[in-house]
Structure 1
Amino acid sequence: MIKMSDAGKKKDKCDMDSRKASNKCAPQGDKGGSKSASELTEETGEVAEEKPQREAEQTEQEDEDEEKKKKEKEEEERLMEEELQSLKAYIADTTERVKGKAEARSINLAAPDNRPDESFFTKLDSSLKKNTAFIKKLRNLTEAQRESLSKELCALNLTKYIGEVAGALMDAKLKMSDVPCAIHICGILHQRYAEFSQALLESFNKYLLSKKDDKMNNASKYRVDLRFLGELVAYGILTAKEGLPVLANQLSILVSSDREEHNYLPIITSFCKHCGDDYTGIVPRKFR
């Protein structure tokens, strides 16, 4: 056997290495190879189709967000307008009420100098039957009866029945809504009869607390009576000298005798709600 020379061996080795390198670099079908032109074109088309869709979705979302913001702004403006109208109504109502109360108070405080003389009462009905019937109606007084009771009162001479009238007013199971009518009736009586205010205050004492340990028999009636007392002072039917000490004493008893259980808290808060603006300048929280 003829031996190959070293040069021949080297040449064969180089040829084999070249073939191996060529095989490694050659494409192996689809595996690991480059994508064809048709595939690239297809993918590019898909991307091109998705872009407008994404843009449309983004535009739609932006429109929805804008519409939401618009509605929120409109709702905020609506609520602000409602609050403004509510405030204006409260101011108008308060102004009218304060004006009316100031006028009534002025008349009531001036009553001692302007009461009618005896000749005025001689023209009125003094019959026992009609006066008794009127007193009975006072025990069932309601706001709906304001006009009829006022008309009947103005036609009667109650000079001999003032004590009974005052007692009937205090016996009445008034609701909070009936207090304005009771104040109106008391105003007419006060302007005509000098002894009415004192008789009413004496009747009040039968239902009020006299000391810290007194038991409250009817909390619902007491709550209304306390407001009634406060309004009588505010309207000038009871003078500050007559009524304020009594009112202050009641509030003091309520607070000092109920420091732990707070059973009287509804009574105190009710008084603040109805009379707070007259005595402490309290106004509803939403209007502060």
Structure 2
Amino acid sequence: MEHPEDECRVGVEHPEKHEDEEAVARHEEFKKSVEAKIALRKNNLNPERPDTGFLRTLDSSIKRNTAVIKKLKQINEEQREGLMEELRSVNLSKFVSEAVTAICDAKLRAADIQAAVLICSLLHQRYKDFSPSLVQGLVKIFFPGKAAEDVDVDRNARAMKKRSTLKLLLELYFVGVVDDTGIFVNIVKDLTSVEHLKDRDATQTNLSLLASFARQGRYLLGLPLAGQDILEELFKALNVTTDQKRFFRKAFQTYYDASVELLQSEHAVRLFPLLNWKTLNLERKSLRQMEHENEKILSAKGELNEENASTYEKLRKAYDQLYRGISGFSAPCLQEIVVSLLVQSSTVIYRSPDSKPIS
């Protein structure tokens, strides 16, 4: 005979046990993904490329190759397997440059990066001249030339393109398709140039790109891997010198300091960073002064004129953008660079005196 207590226990699921099981499952999935990258890196570093005789047995028609190249402009995880099968069945020897252009033009989502890595690895293992051309094309996205930068195009689209390209380059570096760390030295050197601080949009974009780089490429900065020992095997073979790690850290620190100085000068704001970098107190003197003046006008006239309202909105928007950029930039990297703390699993939160937390 069952006791009432036993009946209550039947079907009861302990939240802690469920959470533990999920954590174990996530760890196993992560471990498998890293092991797959290690295996892919070995294949990419020592590719067994087919000879010309084998390639001649594949379809080399212009019609078929053109159709496949067109699909490379739309790489996504959903169609990855089908596209890879098609790539294995054609001879792209005479169309490598077209394939590279298509991949460089592809609008990749974050979810599509790994699909692009596998496709690029396949092409790298098959065509010797693919990787050098691909790297040149991807890096060009960060250095399009002054004429291209001056064109009044969608800056958000350009920023998103740089972000996805940087993610792709780093992942290709981790799996051995890209082997030159100097590529990232040049990119970071450009992103952290103080000349960009003259352009508000460029500053915001660069802060976002650098924060993304710090999260994904923390090994290049010499930051601890937060207990993810499995990553050591993947990263230990990377050709990153001590001088390069030192360069990345110094570049990040210098650009962060310059950004804070810009925030101070433009908005009369002082930053008081504590040693542990867990809080960042902001005094928005100029904004508060303008708010106070606007309150007086509202009390006297009942409304703000269009000029005053527009000026305040622009100042507020500019301040918020730079504040978010600096907060996001500092959280994943500078906290550890300055204080040498182990990375916390949760994002460090910074709070201004009268604002909501920004994570």
Specify the TM-score bucket, using the shorter chain as the normaliser: 0.5 to 0.7
CA contact (8 A) 1:135 1:164 kept: yes
CA contact (8 A) 1:211 1:253 kept: no
Shift of 1:161: 0.4
Q: Which amino acid aligns with 1:270?
A: S
1:233 equivalent in structure 2: 173
1:223 aligns with 2:157: no
Paired with 1:191 and 1:246, the residues of 2 have a C-alpha distance of 21
CA contact (8 A) 1:124 1:156 kept: yes
Shift of 1:84: 3.4
Q: Which amino acid aligns with 1:126?
A: S
Go from structure 1 to structure 2 and tell me whether the alpha carbon gap of 1:124 and 1:83 turns closer, same or farther (over 3 Å shift).
same
Question: Tell me, which stretches of 5 or more residues in structure 2 are unaligned?
Answer: 1-12, 227-342, 348-359
Q: Percent identity?
A: 33
Paired with 2:19 and 2:213, the residues of 1 have a C-alpha distance of 26
1:185 aligns with 2:185: no
Shift of 1:270: 2.6
1:255 aligns with 2:192: yes
Go from structure 1 to structure 2 and tell me whether the alpha carbon gap of 1:126 and 1:250 turns closer, same or farther (over 3 Å shift).
same
Paired with 2:217 and 2:107, the residues of 1 have a C-alpha distance of 20
Go from structure 1 to structure 2 and tell me whether the alpha carbon gap of 1:277 and 1:91 turns closer, same or farther (over 3 Å shift).
farther
Decide which structure has greater helix share.
1
Paired with 2:81 and 2:38, the residues of 1 have a C-alpha distance of 21
Go from structure 1 to structure 2 and tell me whether the alpha carbon gap of 1:210 and 1:276 turns closer, same or farther (over 3 Å shift).
farther
1:91 equivalent in structure 2: 27
2:183 equivalent in structure 1: 246
Q: Which amino acid aligns with 1:266?
A: S
1:285 equivalent in structure 2: 344
3-state SS of 2:208 partner: helix
Q: Which amino acid aligns with 1:89?
A: A
2:43 equivalent in structure 1: 107
What TM-score results when the alignment is normalised by the length of structure 2? Answer: 0.52
Paired with 1:274 and 1:85, the residues of 2 have a C-alpha distance of 26
1:167 equivalent in structure 2: 101
Paired with 2:211 and 2:65, the residues of 1 have a C-alpha distance of 38
Paired with 1:278 and 1:123, the residues of 2 have a C-alpha distance of 43
Go from structure 1 to structure 2 and tell me whether the alpha carbon gap of 1:209 and 1:177 turns closer, same or farther (over 3 Å shift).
same
Paired with 1:278 and 1:144, the residues of 2 have a C-alpha distance of 31
Cα deviations by residue, 1:137-156 (Å, 9 ceiling, x for unpaired): 11111111101101100000
Shift of 1:81: 4.4
Q: Which amino acid aligns with 1:236?
A: G
Cα deviations by residue, 1:42-95 (Å, 9 ceiling, x for unpaired): xxxxxxxxxxxxxxxxxxxxxxxxxxxxxxxxxxx9665465345323321221
CA contact (8 A) 1:227 1:275 kept: no
Q: Which amino acid aligns with 1:207?
A: I
3-state SS of 2:37 partner: helix
Go from structure 1 to structure 2 and tell me whether the alpha carbon gap of 1:285 and 1:167 turns closer, same or farther (over 3 Å shift).
same
Shift of 1:178: 0.9
Paired with 1:166 and 1:202, the residues of 2 have a C-alpha distance of 9
Q: Which amino acid aligns with 2:36?
A: G
Paired with 1:238 and 1:281, the residues of 2 have a C-alpha distance of 23
Cα deviations by residue, 1:187-231 (Å, 9 ceiling, x for unpaired): 11000100000111221233123799x677700111000011111
Go from structure 1 to structure 2 and tell me whether the alpha carbon gap of 1:83 and 1:276 turns closer, same or farther (over 3 Å shift).
farther
The 4+ residue runs of structure 1 with deviation greater than 6 A are 214-217
RMSD value, Cα: 3.0
Paired with 1:164 and 1:209, the residues of 2 have a C-alpha distance of 20
Paired with 1:79 and 1:275, the residues of 2 have a C-alpha distance of 34
Paired with 1:164 and 1:281, the residues of 2 have a C-alpha distance of 40
Go from structure 1 to structure 2 and tell me whether the alpha carbon gap of 1:133 and 1:210 turns closer, same or farther (over 3 Å shift).
closer
Paired with 2:24 and 2:219, the residues of 1 have a C-alpha distance of 17
Q: Which has the larger radius of gyration?
A: 1
Go from structure 1 to structure 2 and tell me whether the alpha carbon gap of 1:252 and 1:188 turns closer, same or farther (over 3 Å shift).
same
Paired with 1:130 and 1:91, the residues of 2 have a C-alpha distance of 42
Q: Which amino acid aligns with 1:96?
A: K
Equivalent residue in structure 2 for 1:116, among 36, 50, 53: 50
1:14-25 to structure 2, matched below 5 A, reads: none
Go from structure 1 to structure 2 and tell me whether the alpha carbon gap of 1:92 and 1:281 turns closer, same or farther (over 3 Å shift).
farther
Go from structure 1 to structure 2 and tell me whether the alpha carbon gap of 1:149 and 1:278 turns closer, same or farther (over 3 Å shift).
farther
Q: How many residues align?
A: 207
Q: Which amino acid aligns with 1:92?
A: E
Shift of 1:101: 0.4
